[in-house]
Amino acid sequence: MSGRSGVLVIGDALLDVDVDGRVERTTPDAGLPVLDVTSEVMRPGGAGLAAALLAADGMPVTLVTALCADTAGGQLRDLLREPSIEVLAGPGEGGTVVKTRLAGLARVDRGEGQPASGFGTTVAAPLRAALCTAAAVLVSDYGRGVAADPLLRSALTDALRSGLPVVWDPHPRGPSPVPAVTIATPNLAEARGVSRHGAADVAAREVRRAWSACAVAVTCGAEGAVLIGDGAPELVPAPRVSGGDPCGAGDAFAGSLAAALAEGRPRLDAVRCAVHRAARFVGLGGAGAFAARRAAVGAPV
């Protein structure tokens, strides 16, 4: 597919907030820990993080998502405003999803972040135009409704028929991938939820059958990934990393897989690239460390 470049990311964009600090005392009335905040960093989450990671690796990105017209939605849009990311946003409703992580103590979630009425109609034409120029597609589903839109799914079905590679990163609350997706990337828990089998290779095979996917790569954390296509299962081990943070590793894996397919790499080679990229991402501290590094140099996160 000569003349094509970049990755088209489709999915639910969220706003993540990482709050760091010290806990050295408790409240006198209820004995609750008191967090003295030392830093607070906002970053794109969900499909927004997948797009930001691809852009940081030098890949041109077009992001199709739903954005709410609220303060958090404006902050999210600002975080995604950089030369290598084009945002094609339709209307959202229910408030931007904001996930606030409190220094390893708790996470506070608010907002629904669902596509509003008319979302599909708004983005259908620019989406089809973007599908004509992209070298690969990543569907980054976070269960908020973008991946379920019928107009988007129809456009993706047509793109697959034309030979465009599509990676589908699923969510338990989201829809099944469109049939014949190039590679679906459930984690092991998600695969077991579909297949009811514990072994990764058996689960991957049954997920592939249930979703009518061309291939399935089940991610298994520090163990790597299991790839099932037409032949025998392929175990792709992950390099060992010490410490680190797995937050965002699935986005790093799926995005790197789409980027490798965009470059024309064979399927198994693409999965190997994605496993190594995700392991490196975890070893460097995950999504929080990625955002802090970007903020330190004054770049969008």
Any idea which residues carry the catalytic annotation?
251
H/E segment holding residue 64: strand 61-67
Contact 284, 244 (CB under 8 A): yes
Nearest to 224 by CA among 204, 246, 239: 239
φ and ψ at residue 166, rounded to 5 degrees: -130, 120
* The dihedral sign for the CA sequence 86, 294, 170, 236: positive
Displacement of CA 184 from its chain's centroid (Å): 12
Per residue, what are the HEC states of 159-219? HHHCCCCEEEECCCCCCCCCCCCCEECCEHHHHHHHHCCCCHHHHHHHHHHHHCCCCEEEE
Six-digit token pair at 29? 């009335």
